[in-house]
Amino acid sequence: MNYILINEQTKEFHLTNGNISYIFNVLKNGSLGQLYFGKAIKHRTDFSHFQRTDIPTAASCHYFQDDPAFSLETIRQEYPVYGKGDFRDAAIELETNEGRIGNGFIYKSYEISQGKPNLKGLPATYAKENEASSITITLIDEKVQAELQLTYTIFHDFSVITRSVALRNSGSNPIYIKKLMSSSIDLPDAADLRMIHLAGTWSRERHLEKRDLVPGIHSVASIRGASSHHHNPFIALMRKDATEHDNEVYGFNFVYSSNFLGQVEVDHYDTARVMMGIHPHQFKWQLEGEDSFQTPEVVMVYSENGLNGMSQTFHNLYKNQLIRDPWKTEDRPILINNWEATYFDFNEEKLVNIAKSASELGIELFVLDDGWFGKRNDDTSSLGDWFENEEKLPDGLTSLSEKINKLGMEFGLWFEPEMVSPNSLLFETHPDWIIGRPQEHLTFGRNQLVLDFSREEVVEYLYEKMATIIKRTNLSYIKWDMNRNITDAFSNALSYEKQGEFFHRYILGVYTLYDKLTSEFPTVLFESCAGGGGRFDPGMLYYAPQAWTSDDTDAVERLKIQYGTSIVYPIYSMGSHVSAAPNHQTLRSTSIETRANTAYFGTFGYELNPLELSDEDRNVIKVQVEFYKTHRNLVRDGNFYRLQSPFEQNETAWMIVSKDKKEALVGYYKVLATPTTKKHQVLTLKGLDESISYTINGTEDIYYGDELMYRGLPLSVEFNGANGQHAERGGDYQSIVYYLKG
């Protein structure tokens, strides 16, 4: 199949894989027009009638004096500029010493390649030659002497287009990039669309938000130096009548972990301009002659199967074409993390006892969290001093890791590489390594300062420290934390003119360190973390296949957090742990079953002190651990379906179905008990095979896929005040997990 069809006469480019079509063309003035993005359509030699030409108004400015119909104010475009008749936000803004802004880009050529080109120094989806086809369109601005390359990739087996942009200075004078969006697309029918995004804060990340699109700008953004707890670099536009499982949805996700802007501008002619890229706030990149600047990429998904269809495409793409070997297929170990068990208060004996007790429960990996280094006994010191805290670990990490390994467990360690405490040896030695002007007021976050990762020597120093520890402790896992956002953004290593490059250079430094460590130690599993879920983005997922979803481990809060996160990210990338009751973030007590029933739908682990558990709970945990070991491949490889939303009701339900549809795991959760429930107690399932008969929970109960999907799975009997003899569940925070086998 030819995935990129070109009409040379009309200069139209049609990217299609039989499921989606993406069509754009060269406009009369040499810029690019957007013609179509949606369900696949048959190819033809001319699609120009898809462009709307009926609406220039008397007030519109027209590009050509003799053609009032050609107005950029109303033409749908692919990479718009300011100053030529379009008064909406532009995708690019340059500055030259002659005062030019880069609005003269015109089409020059195209080049097709099989597979997908790498983006140097940046995380990105990847593809072999038989998995994707790419086209790069080159536009030039002769006055600015710059070349703009827009690269599009269509994946053969996914309803996905990725886009990124590179700008090359083809002259000898510097060009200053003030804005260079990774993608921009003008979609029609804005009045029929709603915007979906994921918003929150610490401990309440990625809650699902929906808003109507009215004329004006709707945006999500971060200028925190991290993608943030507050807004995820994701936007979807959904038809007004689209649901979880039906009708059209367009999703946009930015493969980047720092300042971003995702924006939908609705104009007065029913067009929605969706733009995504590095946030232009304080951004200014100096491009010398012959230099290039490469933007990160945007992943664009089209779904005709509602929001869930979009999510499954993101999940499958990220599982297969973003997360790298060996972690695509390797089992993720069930871990126990000592953070909520001990906080900073531990010594070797305490840790080994916890690990021993956990190993008896079948847990596979022991993770030592914050507090093992320098003189760290609370959060006021020692970040940067990556050597053992001798008071707590007099025999060192090597001795501890050997003891853990002897228990048959793997050993994992927490780092916060990007940070330094003012009270640390590292700060004493290298006070100039911090971000911020040395003699001026500095703003604190959790008593710590941020290291300047835009500097090679800083990255190199951290690499040496971490690599040495990995080697000498036989480390299997690293939790890479980042507990504060960036303030006082100023690099002492950059000239004043180049400070606008700081934020991007910082994250490139973070990616460099990740790249060096993951290349040298591919079998070490990295879990990214930023005070919980403050950097849960596809950029991080490229290096670290799982992320600590939130510091909030409360099972009820997690329903919303995990449901929201699943809108974009595979559930197997979400670190989800069973913690103690009452919960440390909410003081709510839920049963050990409900805590696990929520955490199973993620990468599973524990965050509690097993020595403080009752025998009964220990026995329950042994069963839970075995259960997850049996089903973790299903959690990793299956298709995830959201069935009932915690944002809409008291009940939440979701399920995961194996690719061959012969197995499924269904989670059902009811937050508050209700008396004599009105609704018929069934759960309508999705994604099963109509003709397969499934047994439920290994019992004799058998149901066909069609009954389960069209009538529903009968839920166990709920206590209603009068049916005590045969009620099987009841009370607040109740939950059930069903295993279906065909």
Distance separating alpha carbons of residues 495 and 216, to the nearest angstrom: 38
In the region spanning residues 551 to 590, those forming contacts with ligand DGJ, defined by CB under 6 A, are 551
Distance separating alpha carbons of residues 466 and 603, to the nearest angstrom: 24
Half-sphere exposure at residue 444, Cβ-oriented, CA atoms within 13 angstroms: 10
Residue 359 parent element (H or E): helix 348-360
Residue 460 parent element (H or E): helix 456-472
- For ligand DGJ, the closer of residues 204 and 319 by Cβ is 204
- For ligand DGJ, the closer of residues 202 and 285 by Cβ is 202
Q: Which of 225, 296, 532, 605 binds ligand DGJ (CB under 6 A)?
A: 532
What are all long-range contacts of 430-434, with beta carbons under 8 Å and residues at least 24 apart?
Answer: 432/492, 433/458, 434/492
Q: How far apart are the first and last CA of the chain?
A: 35
Q: What letter does residue 294 receive in the DSSP assignment?
A: E
Distance separating alpha carbons of residues 241 and 528, to the nearest angstrom: 36
- For ligand DGJ, the closer of residues 380 and 589 by Cβ is 380
Question: Contact, 82 vs 103, CB < 8 A?
Answer: yes
Stretch that binds ligand DGJ, among 66-74, 128-136, 492-500, 527-535 (CB under 6 A): 527-535
- For ligand DGJ, the closer of residues 20 and 383 by Cβ is 383
* Helix (H), strand (E), coil (C) string for 126-162: CCCCCCEEEEEEEEEECCCCEEEEEEEEEECCCCEEE
Q: Which residue is nearest to ligand DGJ (CB)?
A: 370
Kindly state whether residue 593 participates in binding ligand DGJ, applying the rule CB under 6 A: no
The single residue of 186, 452, 481, 552 carrying the catalytic annotation is 481
How many residues form the binding site for ligand DGJ (CB under 6 A)?
Answer: 11
Q: Which of 277, 309, 509, 531 binds ligand DGJ (CB under 6 A)?
A: 531
Stretch that binds ligand DGJ, among 39-47, 88-96, 449-457, 525-533 (CB under 6 A): 525-533
Q: Which residue has the tokens 């990847």?
A: 126
**Cβ 534 to ligand DGJ, closest distance in Å?**
8
Contact characters 335-364, ligand DGJ, x per CB under 6 A: ----x-------------------------
Kindly state whether residue 548 participates in binding ligand DGJ, applying the rule CB under 6 A: yes
Which residues pair with residue 274 across a beta bridge? 185, 264
Q: And the tokens for 50?
A: 């898809």
In the region spanning residues 152 to 211, those forming contacts with ligand DGJ, defined by CB under 6 A, are none
**Cβ 610 to ligand DGJ, closest distance in Å?**
18
**Cβ 550 to ligand DGJ, closest distance in Å?**
8
Stretch that binds ligand DGJ, among 37-45, 140-148, 193-201, 524-532 (CB under 6 A): 524-532
Sign of CA dihedral 432, 435, 437, 439: negative
Distance separating alpha carbons of residues 152 and 694, to the nearest angstrom: 43
Q: How far is CA 137 from CA 20, 154, 407, 708, 719, in A?
A: 20, 14, 57, 49, 64
Contact characters 368-397, ligand DGJ, x per CB under 6 A: -xx---------------------------
In the region spanning residues 474 to 503, those forming contacts with ligand DGJ, defined by CB under 6 A, are 481, 483
Q: 481 catalytic, yes or no?
A: yes
- For ligand DGJ, the closer of residues 413 and 513 by Cβ is 413
- For ligand DGJ, the closer of residues 141 and 551 by Cβ is 551
- For ligand DGJ, the closer of residues 340 and 452 by Cβ is 340
Q: Which of 3, 302, 414, 502 binds ligand DGJ (CB under 6 A)?
A: 414
**Cβ 138 to ligand DGJ, closest distance in Å?**
44
Distance separating alpha carbons of residues 585 and 318, to the nearest angstrom: 31
Q: And the tokens for 330?
A: 């390797």
The single residue of 385, 551, 552, 554 carrying the catalytic annotation is 551
Q: Which residue has the tokens 């033809």?
A: 44
DSSP letter for each residue of 396-448: HHHHHHHHHHHTT-EEEEEE-TTEE-SSSHHHHH-GGGBSS-TTS----BTTB
Q: Which of 419, 529, 547, 643 binds ligand DGJ (CB under 6 A)?
A: 529
- For ligand DGJ, the closer of residues 20 and 547 by Cβ is 547
Kindly state whether residue 526 participates in binding ligand DGJ, applying the rule CB under 6 A: no
Stretch that binds ligand DGJ, among 240-248, 305-313, 500-508, 529-537 (CB under 6 A): 529-537
**Cβ 481 to ligand DGJ, closest distance in Å?**
5
Nearest partner of 671 among 566, 554, 577, judged by Cα? 554
Distance separating alpha carbons of residues 76 and 85, to the nearest angstrom: 13
Instruction: Give catalytic residues, as residue numbers.
Output: 481, 551
Give contact residues for ligand DGJ (rule: CB under 6 A).
339, 369-370, 414, 481, 483, 529, 531-532, 548, 551
